[in-house]
Structure 1
Amino acid sequence: MHCLRLVTLVFIVAFVSANTRGCGKRHREGFNSNKDNHNLQSGGRTRTYAVNVPKGYNDDLDKEWPLIIDFHGNGGSPEKQYENSRYYKYTQGQEYIVVYPAGVEKHWQGPSYAVKGVNDLAFVTDLLEHIRDNYCIDNNRLYASGKSIGGGFVDILACSPEGNPFSAFAMAAPALYAETNPKFKCPYKRAILQAHGTKDQTIPYEGSSSGKGGPIPFILEWVSKWGKRNGCGYQDMKTLIREGDGYKLFTYSCNGYNKIVQHYQVINNGHCWPSTSRATTDGRRDYCGPYLFDYTPRVLEFFSRWNKQNAPSNQ
């Protein structure tokens, strides 16, 4: 009995230590992208990232903060993605530490044009450990988001064991090349949010057999596939039509999970992170109008609903 209590105590102490090992360290609040200070070794490469430290972080160095890792699109950068998702502009978004990693040659694994030999899944694991070592992170509230090929990589992450630490995943206009690979497997249940424009010419909503990085699935078929992965059937799908607000919403709820899969079909929007503002990275592009639908607050609301206690357990 004494041995059992000792083992239990050691486990609890080890968990607490791992969960809070980055606490007590001060950081400059706001957006930080200095590559000399924000890098790590992964897969034999020096990988870099930017981070937005919320206002008030240094007021309580033992407070644990939820984390979002946000992946840029093809040819993008941490700085561009920071101004695309703009989590920092929202009161709810200011409650998160947000990390913006940089892809090797501005790509992520998944498409045929990705840099050969780069394992971005291993990089996510290394990055997560690095952030835990340096920031005060709430391990019960870890999330991943991304746009275009960054969104496609978030899908790959959700379908991989490296995605197990995360509670929910959000994508905008994801380049879902991996999903058409016959060798691609996805044995996991996940909380999934996605938005896709019906006028997307880069990753067409209706799919394509000849995308830049490979074939692309029909988006609604991919959404239904995630419904099935979570144990839902066609009868579990609901549709909310809000054309005046620029979207149709498709959701799956089943097995005690309310709206575990959500898909916003953004009407007449292009290859964009949808926004009502023209000031975002994508918002400056004409094909990202009409500016009726703001995706970021939907992402934040979705993330706020999920944590390691109520998200599907795949471990």
Structure 2
Amino acid sequence: MVLPSESALSSGCGKSLPDDFSSGQTTSISVPATNGQPIRHYKVHLSANYQNDRGHAIVFSFHGHNGNMAKQEDLSQLSLKGILINGAGIIAVYPKGKEGTDGQSAWQGAPYSAPGVDDIAFVNTMIATLQSTFCVDSSRIYVTGKSNGAGFVNLLACTPLIASKIAAFATVSAAFYTGTFNGDCPTQRAIPILDFHGTADTVVSYNGGQSHGGTQVSIDDFRHGWASRNDCQNKSTISHLSKETDPQQLIEIQTWNTNCKTGGIVIGYKITAGQHSWPRTTLPVKCNGNVGTNDCTTTVFDATTSVIIPFFNTHTL
């Protein structure tokens, strides 16, 4: 465990929890409409061992197109007991996207997202509110998301104002649209990137192409692009999970970490025959035990507990 510096501890340290919050519980928060922006909503899960005298990491988890807060909490498993970053329980945050042009919830950066809605400003507001309400280690704020939510995570990484506040980024089954991400992504620091994508994803093709009213970037181009921005050596090293975990060696792990800028790394999990899902060994509650397609499928590892959280734990601002 590395104690955060005094400057990293937020103004919420030492404060009692608001009346509607308790450790180990998930609580909804509303952001009033302001500056021409609509009312916004997000849920916050405080770990069971939350303490107001030590800094806790924040992990944002953004749902996909037509998703919602409760399903994303279930899917990403960030509210599970025992999840720690730097030896302390995390503050897991599940924001809600606004209704897009097709009547379904979405995040900025997709062709179907709500016109005029500033989701980046919403994230900035959430960070400030959480820091003033809870004891946050401000050097350990992380973002992850699925599908359109993962595409939005990439947009945050490409927005220096926000990227300067986030220590690392993880994307799952991501939809990257050329309309907002065409490879010309301004960065002012090395960005740690972790990405998961299945080769049998029929919602967001691994190879990119036309979909949902826009053009999607291929996953290989996305990973190579970040490796280039981080000044990493162009060729990745290839590894696999253990044969005990993945007997058929269906999961290829691509890592760019040679000659990178300090703190820069790109890791990509190429999941052979993987669908449009969050890699996990158990089915989400929404599947009601029925194995089917996309999120209602399982893989040989749990992305959140075995990969994402350890990845976040190694990165700090």
TM-score over 0.5 for the alignment?
A: yes
State the 1:49 CA deviation. Answer: 0.4
What SS does the corresponding residue of 2:186 show, helix, strand or coil? Answer: coil
Please give the secondary structure, in 1, of the residue aligned with 2:151.
helix
Q: Distance in 1 between matches of 2:285 and 2:258?
A: 35
Residue type at the aligned position of 1:153 = F
1:184/1:229 CA distance change after superposition, 3 Å = closer
TM-score (norm 1): 0.83
Q: Rate the CA distance shift 1:20–1:146 in 2: closer, same or farther, 3 A.
A: same
1:284–1:133 distance in 2 versus 1, CA, 3 Å: farther
Matched to 2:43, the amino acid is: A
Q: Is the counterpart of residue 91 in structure 1 residue 82 in structure 2?
A: yes
Match of 2:38 in 1: 45
Counterpart contact for 2:179–2:214, Cα < 8 Å: no
Residue aligned with 1:170, SS: strand
Verify the 8 A CA contact 1:246 1:292 in the aligned structure 2: no
Q: Sequence identity, in percent?
A: 28
Distance across 2 between alignment mates of 1:216 and 1:252: 22
Residues 145 and 171 in structure 1, CA contact (< 8 A), matched pair in contact too: yes
In structure 2, give the amino acid aligned to 1:195: F
Q: Which has the larger radius of gyration?
A: 1
Look up the match of 1:291. Answer: 299
Does residue 19 (structure 1) correspond to residue 10 (structure 2)? The answer is: yes
CA distance in 1, matches of 2:272, 2:183: 33
1:211, distance to aligned residue in structure 2 (A): 1.0
Q: Which residue is 1:77 aligned to? A: 68
Q: Distance in 1 between matches of 2:194 and 2:81?
A: 18
Output the amino acid matched with 1:262: I
* 2:197 equivalent in structure 1: 196
| Aligned equivalents of 2:290, 2:127: Cα separation in 1 | 32
Assess, with a 3 A threshold, how the Cα gap between structure 1 residues 238 and 248 changes in structure 2: closer, same or farther.
Answer: same
Matching of residues 1-315 of structure 1 within 5 Å: 15=7, 19-21=10-12, 23-26=14-17, 27-34=21-28, 37-41=29-33, 43=35, 44-57=37-50, 60-89=51-80, 91-93=82-84, 95-105=89-99, 106-161=105-160, 162-178=162-178, 182=182, 184-188=184-188, 189-208=190-209, 210-235=210-235, 237-242=236-241, 244=247, 246-255=250-259, 260-279=265-284, 281=286, 286-288=292-294, 289-297=297-305, 298-308=307-317
Q: Does the 8 Å CA contact 2:138/2:165 hold for their aligned counterparts?
A: yes
Larger helix proportion of the pair: 1
Q: What is the DSSP-based 3-state SS (H/G/I as helix, E as strand, rest coil) of the residue aligned with 2:237?
A: strand
Give distance in 1, aligned partners of 2:133 and 2:269.
35
- CA RMSD after TM alignment: 2.5
Gaps spanning 5+ residues in structure 2: where? 100-104
Q: Distance in 2 between matches of 1:179 and 1:226?
A: 17
Deviations 1:27-55 (A, max 9, x none): 31234244xx4434455321110011100
Alignment partners' CA distance in 2, 1:114 and 1:42: 19
